[in-house]
Each structure stands twice: as structure tokens, then as C-alpha cells.
Amino acid sequence: MKMNNSIRSFNSKGERIPVTVLGATGMVGQVFMWMLETHPSFKVVSITAGDSRKGKSYREATRWQLPVPFPETYGRMPFSTLNDVLAAPTPIVFSALPAEIALKIEPMLAESGAAVFSNASAMRGKENVPILIPEANPGDLGRIKKQQWGSGGFIVTNANCATTGLAVALSPLRKFGIKDVFVSTCQSVSGAGYPGISHMDIAGNLIPFIENEEEKIKGELSAILHLNVPIFPSCVRVPVRFGHLETVWAKLGENVSTTDIRESWEKFKPPAHLPSLPETPVSYLSDPAQPQPALSFAGTPPGMAVFTGGLKKQGNRIGFILLVNNIVRGAAGGSIANAELFLEGWDRHLEAQSAVPQFDS
Ligand SMILES: NC(=O)c1ccc[n+]([C@@H]2O[C@H](COP(=O)([O-])OP(=O)(O)OC[C@H]3O[C@@H](n4cnc5c(N)ncnc54)[C@H](OP(=O)(O)O)[C@@H]3O)[C@@H](O)[C@H]2O)c1
């Protein structure tokens, strides 16, 4: 684990660790560049995008889509090629590549010794590659020790965006015994990347199909929460820019009150102080008309909280609505939090189940 030690040595000297962002012009890549501009531990030193960006600066090549300021610090940064990055990888690489490119590039980077934190689905669930959410399954980070790449490289993935919101909201409810989960999603267009879906297809319309999304929710939620129960997802694309809204019904093993559920969310904390995670990862809103996607960039840090609302129950079933910012909490912010968890030394946990700590939830 040579490279891993060098990552921690940067950190112990108080230096920001040099990182690369792959796919920096895309929806998720833009969030990385915004969040990493002022990050206390990571500093972007190289970026990539498609071949046509060669020779351009980040500002010239990027059509800024976020409702937050463009990261001027990185505006003049030129694009590297994927081959440049493979030849001399930074200690940490954040990947926002399309899955088919990630499948090829991420293993090569890990083999070259890089710590790869990826949003792409390509490597999710491959042998010993954790699908990690710090609040839900921090102990699964220990699985990187069993990866067989050269020079201490490894790959950590984060979950699909809709799964992330669901896993964070359900995580503190595991103690009540989750028996099944029904979830219907309303997913924003930014979830399809940029330029993504044609305006003509989605304006004033809904599209009740998102390729592989329901399968991802089923497989990833089970893996992250270590659940083996029926999960029934239905996914719809809606004409909203940012934020996925999800209607959830879950059967619990106990007849708990809505007060118990709300208290579990209020007391739920991250496993450690990580700069990119809110102190309260799940925030319940009592206003019956909330949460709405208009709140996607609310909270501290912006876009990282999962908002819940509309809590109700019927016997052992509870119902609620949740909002997750798909490109921040459900993508780049999740990867950054995973890298922060690694810096905290959470890879010392070897096995998933036994290492999941008992939170005060
Ligand atoms: N959007 C979300 O809500 C979300 C959430 C979770 C996970 N993800 C995953 O995160 C990844 C990025 O998603 P996104 O929404 O940001 O996609 P996107 O907006 O389409 O951006 C893709 C990025 O990859 C670059 N790229 C495309 N083809 C390439 C190639 N052949 N070689 C090198 N770079 C290439 C693009 O560069 P150019 O601009 O030059 O084409 C762009 O920077 C995907 O795997 C996606 O499934 C997305």
C-alpha cells in the first residue's frame, strides 16, 4: 500500500493532496470542480474530458450548468489526455466518466497505483470494490485491502444517485428491521448528464423509463444496507433540472411511531467529522408541501443533505418523501466524502458486516 501511505503523508504535512478529475466538463465533473475549489484536503491539478477539448482551458471548454459560481481558480487549467493521466497518475483520481470508458480506464489507473473514487457504474459491485456511503456502510471501505492492483491502487465507487438518497434515509431505520421497500422516483434531467435529454422530449412531459435504473436501485440498496428483502422500484424522468424526489413505503419489523422515525433521523450522524458531510445527513421538513427539488442546493454543505418529509404510517408500514441532489450528494459529493473517509483511516476495517459501527441513531 505504497501510494496509500503517500496520500496520508501529504495530509499529515497539512498539504492539499493533488487530484485529477476525469470528465470535468460533464454534470458530475462540474460539481467536482466546484466542490474541490476550496476543499481543505484536495486540490485539482489535472483534468480530462473528451478528445475535442484538447488545447482548451477549463473555462473555454465548459458550458457551466450549475446554480453556483464557476470555480475561477481552475478556469485557466488546460486539459490533459487520459493517456497523460495514466502515465503519471495523481495519488487520488475522481472519475465522472461514462461507464463504458470507466470500465477500461479505472482498472488501469488502480493498477498504476491511484486511489480511484468513481461515480460510474462500471466497477460497482466487482469483486472487493465497495459501493460506499459513509453514513450507511463505512466499514465496507475495508474491502479495498483485498483488491489486487499494483502499488497500492484501489477503486471505490459510490452508489447510483437515486439509491444514495434512499440508502441514507433508510440507514438509521435498519434497527427497526426493514422487511420490504417500495420506491417511486421522479428524477431530474441532470441525472442524464449534459447535454442529456432533448428539451423537445421532456418539456411538459414525463418519461417512465430510465435504463437499468430499477435494477441498480435493487442491487445497490441491498449491497449497501446489507439487506436481503424485496425492493420494488419504479423510476420516472421529470422536467426538473436538479434533484430526485422519491416516494417511499417501507415495512418495518416493529410497529414504531412516526416520532421514533423522526428521532432516528434527527440523531443520525456521520461516522466521523468529514468536511463534505452535513452534521445531520437526514433533515426532516415538517411543512407538508416539502421537500421540493427547489431545495436541491440547500443546506451545509450545499446539496449534501437528504431532505425527508410527509411521514405517515399504516400499521408496520411507514411512508415518506425524500429529496436527494443527484449530482452533489448522489454523485461528486458522495465520492469526495468517500475519499475523506479514506483519509480518516476507515480502510482499517476489513469486513463489511462486522465492521459497521453501531451509531447513536
Ligand atoms: N448525472 C448524475 O446525476 C449522475 C449521478 C451519479 C452517477 N453518475 C455517473 O457519473 C458519470 C458522469 O455522469 P455525467 O452526468 O456527468 O455525464 P456527462 O455530463 O455526459 O459527462 C461525461 C464526461 O465524460 C467525458 N467523456 C465523454 N466521453 C469521453 C471519452 N470517450 N473519453 C474521455 N472523456 C469522455 C465528457 O467530456 P466532453 O464534455 O468532452 O464530452 C464529460 O466530461 C457517469 O458514469 C454517470 O452514470 C451521474
Cα–ligand 1 centroid distance for 288 (angstroms): 35
Q: How many CA atoms lie within 13 A of 194 on its CB side?
A: 20
Q: Please work out whether the CB of residue 296 comes within 6 Å of at least one atom of ligand 1.
A: no
Q: Please work out whether the CB of residue 236 comes within 6 Å of at least one atom of ligand 1.
A: no
Of the listed ranges 6-10, 102-106, 140-144, the one predicted with least confidence: 6-10
Q: 90-107: b or e for each residue (b if 16 or more CB lie within 10 Å)? A: bbbbbbbbeeebbeebbb
Q: Please work out whether the CB of residue 264 comes within 6 Å of at least one atom of ligand 1.
A: no
336 C-beta neighbours (distance < 10 Å), count: 29
Write down the pLDDT at residue 354.
42
Tell me the three-class secondary structure of 188-255, residue by residue.
Answer: CHHHHCCCCCCHHHHCCCCECCCCCHHHHHHHHHHHHHCCCCCEEEEEEECCCCCCEEEEEEEEECCC
Q: How far apart are CA 104 and CA 246, in angstroms?
A: 33
pLDDT at 12 over 90: no
Threshold 0.85, pTM exceeds:
yes
Closest CA to ligand 1's atom 2: 191
Write down the pLDDT at residue 355.
41
Cα–ligand 1 centroid distance for 30 (angstroms): 10
Q: Please work out whether the CB of residue 327 comes within 6 Å of at least one atom of ligand 1.
A: yes
**Predicted confidence band of residue 8 (pLDDT cuts 50, 70, 90):** confident
Cis peptide before 301 (omega within 30 of 0): yes
Alpha carbon separation from 214 to 84, 121, 150, 245, 315 (Å, rounded)? 36, 13, 35, 15, 27
pLDDT at 353 over 70: no
Cα–ligand 1 centroid distance for 49 (angstroms): 8
Write down the pLDDT at residue 358.
34
β-strands 244-252, 178-187 pairing: antiparallel
Beta bridge mates, 115? 92, 154
pLDDT at 350 over 70: no
Beta bridge mates, 309? 285, 321
Q: What is the CATH number of domain 2-159+332-355?
A: 3.40.50.720
Q: How far apart are CA 34 and CA 74, in angstroms?
A: 9
Q: Which residues are catalytic?
A: 161, 244
Cα–ligand 1 centroid distance for 24 (angstroms): 8
Q: Is 24 exposed, middle or buried (0-12, 13-18, 19+ CB in 10 A)?
A: buried
Nearest to 324 by CA among 278, 359, 275: 278
Closest CA to ligand 1's atom 44: 98
73: helix, strand or coil: helix
Cα–ligand 1 centroid distance for 105 (angstroms): 13
Q: Please work out whether the CB of residue 27 comes within 6 Å of at least one atom of ligand 1.
A: yes
The C-alpha cell of 23 is what? 470528465
**Predicted confidence band of residue 346 (pLDDT cuts 50, 70, 90):** confident
143-168 confidence digits (pLDDT tens): 999 999 988 899 999 999 999 999 99
At the topology level, CATH places domain 161-326 in Dihydrodipicolinate Reductase; domain 2 (3.30.360)
Is the distance from CB of 89 to CB of 149 less than 8 angstroms? no
Better-scored residue on pLDDT, 356 or 342:
342
Provide the residue ranges of all domains of the chain, joining segments of one domain with +. 2-159+332-355, 161-326
321-337 confidence digits (pLDDT tens): 999 999 999 999 999 99
Q: Please work out whether the CB of residue 181 comes within 6 Å of at least one atom of ligand 1.
A: no
218-267 confidence digits (pLDDT tens): 999 999 999 999 999 999 999 999 999 999 999 999 999 999 999 999 99
Indicate which atom in ligand 1 lies nearest the CA of residue 327: 3
Closest CA to ligand 1's atom 27: 50
